[in-house]
Structure 1
Amino acid sequence: MILRTVKIFTLCLLFVSSGVLLLQNSHAGEQQLKIGFVNPVKLLELSPQGEKALRLLEEEFRPRDQELIDLREKALALEVDLDKNRLILQASEIKKRQRAIDSVRRKIKRDQQEAREDYNIRRNEELAKLQRLVREMIVTIANEDGFDLIVEQAVYVNNRIDLTERVLQRLQQE
């Protein structure tokens, strides 16, 4: 199975590389193919827009985080109180207090899950906006400088064709 996968991967690489060579050869009579590279992860992490989006998300979700902290403290206080008074309480009161503790714990789990889902949705929305902005900036630079192809993934990239810093500088100017 692994050998078959390796063979398929090798064939795909061969087809892709031969396609690039054919593309380069077809342009040889006309002009040189101009290729660039960008590292989208670096752009998303280091751009001021990405940092701003993270700050906004932190501010937006800070009240919910505080609510969860308060609930955890409440559950802990209830547990401490129950442990402290267990010897003097009747069995029915112990069960009642334990149910209250369990109820708070369940609420914590539900609220945590809901907050995590909401955070992920908002993070994905902000990430999509940032990705659109980065792509627009890349296309703008590609058009200005006459690039034929800009790739985001490569095994090796010469610094001469790496446009990441240039795109990052333009994003910082925005």
Structure 2
Amino acid sequence: MTPERRFLLGLVLGVSVLATGAQAQDFRVGFVNTDRIFREANTAKASQAKLEQEFARREKELNELGSSLKAASEKFEREAPTLPEAQRGARQKTLIDQDREFQRKRREFQEDLNSRKNEELQQVLERANRVVKQVAEQEKYDLILQEAVYINPKHDITDKVIRALNTVR
């Protein structure tokens, strides 16, 4: 056997031994679906309920203001042909100002809601990450992923994490 063939055979045997050794090690991978946690965990549901309660009054006021503005606009459309020019212009200007104010209030509401929602989701995520770490340490996972293009369902530990989150106070 030539030295080149011996080297090549040794290299192939070495790689196969390394590959077998790597397979023999117990490398555990898990996956957590954060979207499901945000939908299904009790902490996420409680945060959602808290936000709904916190913003319900403002949302109701906005809806009432929007309905009032729509009714005033429809009334103006019906009456505009019979109104004198000066009165028609004044009412139109008033409606435009009211609509501008309504849009501003709606924008502020949405910004405040989004900001609070992000704060609440961040708290839920922090708690979930602590629980994921506990599950990983208890069950000896080497790697936990939260984002993946594809994951085999046997690696999905989301249910375990949600159950653990629901028992933690």
For the criterion TM > 0.5, the same-fold answer is yes
Measure, in 1, the Cα distance between the counterparts of 2:74 and 2:40: 45
Separation of aligned partners in 2, 1:119 and 1:146: 39
Paired residue for 2:102?
A: 108
Q: Within the alignment, does 1:62 sit opposite 2:56 as a pair?
A: yes
**Residues 1:118 and 2:106 aligned together:** no
Q: Work out which of the residue numbers 19, 44, 48 in structure 1 matches 2:42.
A: 48
Task: Give the TM-score, by structure 2 length.
Answer: 0.77
Q: Which runs of 4+ in 1 moved over 4 A?
A: 24-27
1:167 equivalent in structure 2: 161
Unaligned ranges ≥5, structure 1:
1-23
In structure 1, how many angstroms separate the alpha carbons of the residues matched to 2:69 and 2:141? 60
User: Partners of 1:27 and 1:109 in 2: how far apart?
Assistant: 65
Deviation readout 1:78-134 (Å, 9 max, x if unpaired): 224434443553221111111111111111111111111111111111111011011
Give 1:161 shift. Answer: 2.7
User: What's the RMSD between the two structures over aligned residues?
Assistant: 2.5
With over 3 angstroms needed to count, the CA separation of the structure-2 counterparts of 1:29 and 1:61, relative to structure 1, is closer
Distance 1:119 1:27, change over 3 A: farther
| SS of residue matched to 2:144 | strand
Shift in alpha-carbon separation, 1:29–1:110, aligned structure 2, 3 A: closer
Paired amino acid for 2:151? V
- Aligned equivalents of 2:75 and 2:24: distance in 1? 83
Residues 83 and 35 (structure 1), Cα distance of their counterparts in 2 relative to 1, 3 Å cut:
closer
Identity of aligned residues (%): 27
Out of 84, 92, 95, which is 1:98 matched to?
Answer: 92
Q: Which of these two proteins has the greater Rg computed from alpha carbons?
A: 2
For normalisation by structure 1, the TM-score amounts to: 0.75
1:154 is paired with a residue whose SS is coil
Alignment check: 8 A CA contact 1:71 1:104 kept: no
Q: For the structure 1 residues 27 and 99, does the alpha-carbon distance in structure 2 shift closer, same or farther, using more than 3 Å as the test?
A: farther
Match of 1:32?
26
Q: Give the whole-Å Cα distance in 1 for the aligned partners of 2:20 and 2:122.
A: 36
Q: Hey, what does 2:135 align to over in structure 1?
A: 141
Q: Indicate how the Cα distance of structure 1 residues 140 and 26 shifts in structure 2: closer, same or farther if over 3 A, else same.
A: farther
